[in-house]
Amino acid sequence: MIILIIGGSASQKLAANVAKELGETLCPLETKKFPDGERYVRIKGEVEKNVTVIQSTGFPQDENLIELLFILRTLKDLGAEHIKVVVPYLGYGRQELRFKDGEAISAQLVSNLIEESGADEFISINLHEDSVRDFFNIPTANLSAMAPIAEYIADKVENPIIIAPDKGALGFAEEIAEILGCNCTYMSKVRLGPDKVETRIVDVQCDFDSEDLDKVKKDSKVNIDSVAGKEAVIIDDIIATGGTIVNAIGILKEHGAKSVDVCCVHPVLVNDAVLKIMAAGARDLSSTDTLKSDVSSISVAKLIADALR
Ligand code: R5P
């Protein structure tokens, strides 16, 4: 079965790498902006029955989203019968609820638009809330990028301790700690505003010897004091302003971490986030390529290719 791969302008290189992994054809696509700012899309290749479209909808979110919708509708018009849509980073994915009266549930509308424009299957990576999948009536998958991230950490750090900078990231830290057979811990975070967070340490009860690997595998969570003299690696799904990570680095340094490396799945990286994180004392900052950035050195191409096979 021939599967045509199309990469939207936000995910061209990633789409090319996925096509390479699968040995499938990459379809040429022309996208541009008219002088008034409107988007133009033209699919330049022969459309197959089975098509996979790869397009993240990060910044500029509205433009990347509208481009994706144009691609989907055009593919259906041109005869595509089954379209798998891979949105490695789903913009608007963090507003899946009406937190305050009158708010738009943007994740719901975005999901509806993707489906109604022609998606037959939806695949994303580490959705901020897995419940976003409930907005779809088509098959969905929420892949985890923790395996490629763990592989990257294993190459760089000999004996890491994995740190979740908030409770929401604890599952990621545990996943990586389990793959690497190492310990992890987490912090507690209170968001005071879009660009301000307060972070505190959490007292994790641990009643086992951290050298006892069998027990560590059952429950790898340890107290923050365990970072003393260790190479700490912070893991989060998204880095936006960098505030969460800057706070976590400060706490790790205070508790005697030998070094602090930072990994995330989605490098949203608003304004001077990279600079703030490096200035706070990170040794390394790396992310996956769900979004293009200076630090997107861990590829999710194989992860996506495996899900498409
Ligand atoms: C929030 O729950 C996410 O997992 C990230 O921790 C958050 O998006 C990071 O935001 P910022 O970099 O602005 O602190």
In 3D space, the residue among 199, 273, 201 whose CA is nearest the CA of residue 242 turns out to be 273
Atom of ligand 1 at shortest range from CA of 166: 6
Give me the chain's average pLDDT, please: 94
Atom of ligand 1 at shortest range from CA of 243: 14
Nearest Cα residue to atom 9 of ligand 1: 239
Span 234-245, average pLDDT: 97
What local confidence, expressed as pLDDT, does residue 210 receive? Answer: 53
Catalytic residue ranges = 189
239 C-alpha vs ligand 1 centroid, how far in Å? 5
Task: Say how many C-beta atoms besides its own lie within 10 A of residue 44's C-beta.
Answer: 8
Q: Residue 265 in contact with residue 202, Cβ under 8 Å? A: no
235 C-alpha vs ligand 1 centroid, how far in Å? 11
Q: Indicate the top mutation candidate among 125, 186, 191, 236 to test ligand 1's pocket, ranked by most ligand atoms within 8 A of CB.
A: 236
45 C-alpha vs ligand 1 centroid, how far in Å? 39
Span 44-60, average pLDDT: 96
Atom of ligand 1 at shortest range from CA of 273: 12
Q: What angle do CA 82, 33, 85 make, to 5 degrees?
A: 20
Atom of ligand 1 at shortest range from CA of 241: 13
Q: What angle do CA 130, 267, 36 make, to 5 degrees?
A: 100
C-alpha 38/C-alpha 308 separation (Å) is: 32
Q: List, for residues 262-291, the tens digit of each pLDDT value.
A: 999 999 999 999 999 999 999 999 999 999
Nearest Cα residue to atom 1 of ligand 1: 238
Task: Say how many C-beta atoms besides its own lie within 10 A of residue 171's C-beta.
Answer: 16
Span 117-141, average pLDDT: 98
What local confidence, expressed as pLDDT, does residue 195 receive? Answer: 85
Span 92-116, average pLDDT: 97
CA terminus-to-terminus distance, the chain: 11
**Cis check: omega of the bond before 165, within 30 degrees of 0:** no
C-alpha 126/C-alpha 3 separation (Å) is: 24
Q: Residue 28 in contact with residue 45, Cβ under 8 Å? A: yes
Q: Indicate the top mutation candidate among 163, 166, 238, 293 to test ligand 1's pocket, ranked by most ligand atoms within 8 A of CB.
A: 238
Span 145-164, average pLDDT: 97
Query: Exposure of 123 by Cβ count < 10 A (0-12 exposed, 13-18 middle, 19+ buried)?
Result: buried
Nearest Cα residue to atom 8 of ligand 1: 238
What local confidence, expressed as pLDDT, does residue 193 receive? Answer: 87
The pLDDT of residue 211 is above 90: no
Q: What residues does ligand 1 touch, defined as CB less than 6 Å away?
A: 166, 168-169, 197, 236-244
The pLDDT of residue 24 is above 90: yes
Task: Say how many C-beta atoms besides its own lie within 10 A of residue 295's C-beta.
Answer: 22
Phi-psi category of residue 191: left, alpha or beta, with phi > 0 → left and psi -120 to 50 → alpha: beta
In 3D space, the residue among 204, 172, 207 whose CA is nearest the CA of residue 185 turns out to be 204
275 C-alpha vs ligand 1 centroid, how far in Å? 16
15 C-alpha vs ligand 1 centroid, how far in Å? 26
Q: Residue 65 in contact with residue 57, Cβ under 8 Å? A: yes
pTM check: above 0.85: yes
- 16: Cβ contacts below 8 Å, ≥ 6 apart: 7, 26
What local confidence, expressed as pLDDT, does residue 306 receive? Answer: 97
Q: How confident is the model at residue 209 (pLDDT cuts 50, 70, 90)?
A: low
What local confidence, expressed as pLDDT, does residue 205 receive? Answer: 66
In 3D space, the residue among 295, 293, 287 whose CA is nearest the CA of residue 264 turns out to be 287
DSSP-assigned letters across all residues of 88-101: SS-TTTT--S--ST
